A and B are shown apart, each in its own frame.
Chain A
Amino acid sequence: MTSISSIVFYMLTFLSVYVQVFFLITFLENRKKIITRKGTIKLTKYPKVTIIVPCWDEEKTIYKTVRSILDLNYPKDKIKIFLIDDGSTDGTWNIISKFAKLARPNSRSGGYSNIKVFHKENGGKYTALNLGLKHVETDFLGCLDADSIADSESLVRIMSYFEKDSNIMAVAPSIIAFKSKNIIQNAQKAEYDMSVYIKKMLGFLGAIHVTPGPLTIFRKKVFDDLGPYRHAHNTEDMEIAYRMQKNHYKIEQCNDAYVYTNTPLTVKKLYKQRLRWIYGFINNTIDYRKILFKRNYGNFSLFTLPSSIISIFAVSFLFGKMIYSLGDFLFSKIIQFQAIGLHFPNKIDYLDPFFINTQTLFFIVVILYFLIMFSIILGRKMTEGKWGFSFDMIYFLLIFSIVGPFWLLKAVYNTILSRKPVWR
């Protein structure tokens, strides 16, 4: 039994290291192509872009989100903004209505004529996006989640990718955690930094599997050809990326287009968010299982999806192993208590370096952790332009290793029982 467990552990660790090395080699191959622009840039042409902002009970953040679109360094007459209230029960509609009033032609402010507001019954984010899609008349469009704030240079930098390559069908930005207030948010900050690096590498591999809600810009052709958003287990931004990959539509990642997003403040909220994401990943992958391990679908099929599946298995297995070890430890403590009560040994010779674990797996796990840390450092370099260590990395490794398995296993459990997680 122990040997089978060791073999499985070795295999999963090997595959996890393989994935990290794959990213590292991709980075080394493409490092000169990673450009982080500072300041404003100019395009030859400024195509018209529609930005859809679906809102559902977002009164706390919607104003700043809309303001950030209005402040984008992009010609105002080239941006159309659709604010879509998806049946909010709080003051969201009042706030977006104010923008609507200002959008009237006879408004004294004279501005915001590019804003359109919509109100509909609550039907889920994808229905709000599809309502917006019906009214889009521009060649480019994107969504901006109502809890996110776009950097003023983000759109123009994203559009520069479309300008240089007419084959690109969608460009995702770098999403950065907005103002961390506690350890939970600090941990997520490190994770978002790592995601920037991983997304960029997946971009080089032509294997991006999610076009996130915060300001991914698409060519309208994508929806004209492939149809509107789908419910997709509450992860419509993942499903559209799967659909695009299935149809060989190229997705890029613009590492220097920053969008700041509000991250969950508590473990409970983080759990719910991640449960939805992982559940979405598992179920979208099941829905698109036919494209798994097919060379015709490139690295997306042979690397992105398998590596994510491996991570689910690895985390589940490690969690099981951890529980077993914990049980074993508690059992040995019970035996110790039964044998000698609360006696403490006179000699604490475990301080002797002889007793330091020097098994192969120990070194492999250390290497794996180093590779993960390096991913975060590279992501941080891409977003903040700084090299170096941050305590956020430690928080990330600690919190995600402890809480991560729970949302992951719950997502697997829900998939088996066909239980759909709620949005919040």
Chain B
Amino acid sequence: MERNHQIDWKKYVIVFLFTVGLFLSASYVSNYFGNKKIDQLKLIQDKISIDILSSETQFSLLSELSCKNISDSIISGELGELGRKLEWGQENIGMTDTVSYLKKYYSLLEIKDYLLTKKISERCKTKSAFILYFYTTAENCSECEKQGLALSALRDKYPELRVYSFDYSIDLSAVKAMLQIYKIEDTKLPALVIDENVLTGFHSIDELETRVKESFKLQETKPEETK
């Protein structure tokens, strides 16, 4: 009966250390994959950065080139992918210094892409439309969530539409300058800028579609038109 009294304290400690070891290993593996993902994000950003630089260079050479040489392919198509991955990373890896830095860099790339694509569009009369979208992650903004979904759906429908999304709370002077230019207030989020017009609050997909069609001369791509 004595055995019932005996407590092997050493075992309690060993099990504790072993469990801590398992947690640390899990944390190590998690960090490893987290870093891999950040590396992947950096790679995409580098690629976009090169794409934009390449576009800018080509644009500078436009006087010597015909608009035929400026194809859609030079405009980086990976911005959307990077945006989705960064958003996911922010939620799942956490807003670490690296993720925060990548997000700032992403916003800068968006602005550069916006300016460049706009110039190319004007110069070469390519069919394109632009929406600047301001949201917030600082507080629970269900309207922003709805607006983001509506814009994604709209972008799926119109490949020529380019949506650039900016986190209102990001600490980046270029974004702050845009907020000042368009007089965006944090109490009126989400906010959209379409052809220099500022729209605040949620706007439905139908409403935006009308604006995209009318204001930006974007025509719905119908099968007979494409032929």
Seen from chain A, the residues whose Cβ lies within 8 Å of a Cβ on chain B are 14, 17-18, 21-22, 25-26, 29, 167, 169, 206-207, 245, 248-250, 295-300, 302, 332, 335-336, 338-341, 343, 345-347, 349, 354-355, 357-364, 367
Contact = CB atoms under 8 A, between A and B. Distances in A.
B118 interface: no
Interface residues of B, number: 42
A345 B6 contact: no
Among A207, A341, A346, A358, residue most surrounded by chain B Cβ atoms (within 10 Å): A358
Given A21-B19, A354-B37, A364-B22, A339 B150 contact: yes
A248 B145 contact: no
Interface string B74-110: 0000000100110010001100000000000000000
B30 A360 contact: yes
Given A345-B152, A357-B92, A25 B14 contact: yes
A248 B22 contact: no
Contacts of A167: 1
B16 interface: yes
Nearest to A300: B4
A367 B19 CA distance: 11
Nearest to B159: A346
A351 to B, nearest CB: 13
B23 A364 contact: yes
Given A167-B1, A335-B149, 15 more contacts: A14-B19, A18-B15, A18-B19, A207-B4, A245-B4, A248-B4, A250-B4, A298-B6, A339-B147, A340-B149, A355-B85, A355-B88, A360-B26, A367-B22, A367-B26
A358 B33 contact: yes
Give the secondary structure class of B's interface. Answer: helix
A206 B4 contact: yes
A333 B20 CA distance: 38
Contacts of A349: 81, 84
Contact of A359 (B7, B11, B16, B30): B30
Contacts of B22: 17, 21, 364, 367
A341 B152 CA distance: 13
B42 interface: no
Contacts of B25: 363
B92 A359 contact: yes
B81 A364 contact: no
B19 A298 contact: no
B68 interface: no
Minimum-distance CB pairs A-B, first 6: A358-B33, A363-B26, A339-B146, A339-B149, A340-B153, A360-B30
A207 B4 CA distance: 7
A354 B85 contact: yes
Given A22-B15, A298-B5, A346 B146 contact: no
A294 to B, nearest CB: 11
B50 interface: no
B62 interface: no
B19 A249 contact: no
B5 A346 contact: no
Contacts of B29: 358, 363
Contacts of B146: 335-336, 338-339
A249 B3 CA distance: 10
A298 B30 contact: no
B6 to A, nearest CB: 6
